[in-house]
Amino acid sequence: MNSRFPLNKLQSIKTPYYYYDMDLLEQTLTKVRQEAGKYGFVVHYAIKANANPLILEMIRTFGMGVDCVSGYEVQRALDCGFKPSGIVFAGVGKADWEIELGLDNNIACFNVESLPELEIINEIAAAKGLRANVAIRINPNVNARTHHYITTGLKENKFGINQWDLEKVLSALDNMKNVNLEGIHFHIGSQITDLSSFKELCTRVNEIQEWFVARQHCPRIINVGGGLGIDYQDPDLNPIPDFEGYFKVFKDGLNIM
């Protein structure tokens, strides 16, 4: 691997350690804010990537929200000063206490992975006399063209609700008094370097959004994602991913209703 990693400055350290280039992080965040800001997009950082408090605090200062996949990550976000309105809670297998934590802190949204999860959130919210904001995570069956272990958006993947189950989910939602359908959520994978995958995602999102609108449900939030890839062979060549191209794909490809 070719890199300008400052090994000579760190050779005297005798214990294991993590080294973070905070200058590069700041440059990256500046670029993200600049490119997303062109279109009024809101960016949420996935805490699972790195939950170091110093990193999270810098991310918060750039006005970003966070994407959490556990109650512990929700608590870490709160402890690092993120506003509840900037916290979305994704992930499969949410425990009751984790759902309660999100409800008690009035987080922005639960990204719901299944009908049973939706039913549990509704029940817990009802017991507390609250209403939970939810977004339905839908499996778009889009190939991220990345390693199969980190592909999350194909129909054979375990994540999200399949499109053929949406009618059943929407029917159940219409009878739930303690959840608000705020949006629809999509995530196709990680370490993605081919932006054509996101173009395909936009096409599928538009089709699904039209499906909801035809049934008198207009999602207020469209949450799309997938991790941009890093050049691990030569990380200094392109240290900051192509955020300009990334956000432009969504600006050009999504029909915002």
Over 60: is that where the pLDDT of 51 sits? Answer: yes
Q: Is this model's pTM higher than 0.85 or not?
A: yes
Q: Among the listed ranges 81-85, 165-169, 187-191, 223-227, which one has the minimum average pLDDT value? A: 187-191
User: What CATH number has the domain spanning 15-253?
Assistant: 3.20.20.10
Average model confidence (pLDDT) for the chain?
A: 89
Helix ranges restricted to H, the chain: 7-10, 22-37, 53-61, 71-79, 96-104, 115-128, 166-173, 196-214, 243-253
CA distance 35 to 170: 34
- What would the two tokens of residue 153 be? 């958006």
